[in-house]
Amino acid sequence: MSAISYYTAEGLKKLREELDYLKSVMRPKASADIAEARDKGDLSENAEYDAAKEAQGMLEMRIAKLEEVHSNARLIDETHLDVSKVLVLSNVKIKNQSNGMELKYRLVAESEADLKSGKISVTSPIGKGLLGKKVGDVAEITVPNGVLKFEIMEISRD
């Protein structure tokens, strides 16, 4: 049994789009590649055929995995989330107490994390350390380099 994953509407849409693309575009392409390789002659010595069959197998595994993830996906209803503390889908402004640097992050599900766009996973060390904190609280987060202290400056939702 697979674990339930929580998604924003945007994340769930991306998951569906990827699954649809793999099924409607890549699956027929894989079948065509196999047919083309099969037409080239003796299958016992046809490396192109073997490669096409292996690629199809990998594609089918990816599709099966995404279908499983999609079947266990749950949409997060932001209207029921408490805005006074850090939760999933919170936009958090934090201040590193050791160097005074201010950072902004949006806490998202693990599958939607993208550090370049400021989205960190609630299962990451920083995400776990921030969960449940309120404005003014100091989160002590253990990371590989030691312990970081972040003050919660602001919490918001879009």
Residue 80 in any domain: the answer is no
Whether residue 105 is found in the same domain as residue 146: yes
Whether residue 60 is found in the same domain as residue 113: no
CA-CA distances (angstroms) from residue 122 to 10, 54, 79? 17, 36, 19
DSSP percent split of the chain into helix, strand, coil, nearest 5: 45, 25, 25
Whether residue 71 is found in the same domain as residue 109: no
The whole-number pLDDT of residue 12 equals 86
Cα dihedral 110, 75, 90, 130 sign: negative
Residue 119 in any domain: the answer is yes
| Total number of domains in the chain | 2
Question: For residue range 92-121, what is the model confidence (pLDDT) as tens digits?
Answer: 999 999 898 999 999 888 878 888 999 998
The stretches in the chain having pLDDT less than 50 are: none
The whole-number pLDDT of residue 145 equals 84
Whether residue 101 is found in the same domain as residue 132: yes
CATH code, 23: 1.10.287.180
Whether residue 110 is found in the same domain as residue 133: yes
Question: For residue range 122-135, what is the model confidence (pLDDT) as tens digits?
Answer: 888 999 999 989 99
DSSP string, 40-107: TS-GGG-HHHHHHHHHHHHHHHHHHHHHHHHHTEEE--GGGS-SSB--TT-EEEEEETTT--EEEEEE
The whole-number pLDDT of residue 2 equals 61
Whether residue 50 is found in the same domain as residue 32: yes
Whether residue 89 is found in the same domain as residue 32: no
Beta bridge partners of 105: 92
In the three-class reduction of DSSP (H, G, I as helix; E, B as strand; rest coil), residue 157 is classed as coil
Last residue of a domain, one of 51, 75, 99: 75
| Residue 148 structural domain | 85-156
CB of 44 closer than 8 Å to CB of 53 = no
CATH code, 106: 3.10.50.30
CB of 89 closer than 8 Å to CB of 11 = no
Last residue of a domain, one of 14, 45, 75: 75
Last residue of a domain, one of 27, 42, 75: 75
- Whether the full predicted model's pTM is greater than 0.75, yes or no, is no
Which of 130, 108, 125, 117 is CA-nearest to residue 12? 108
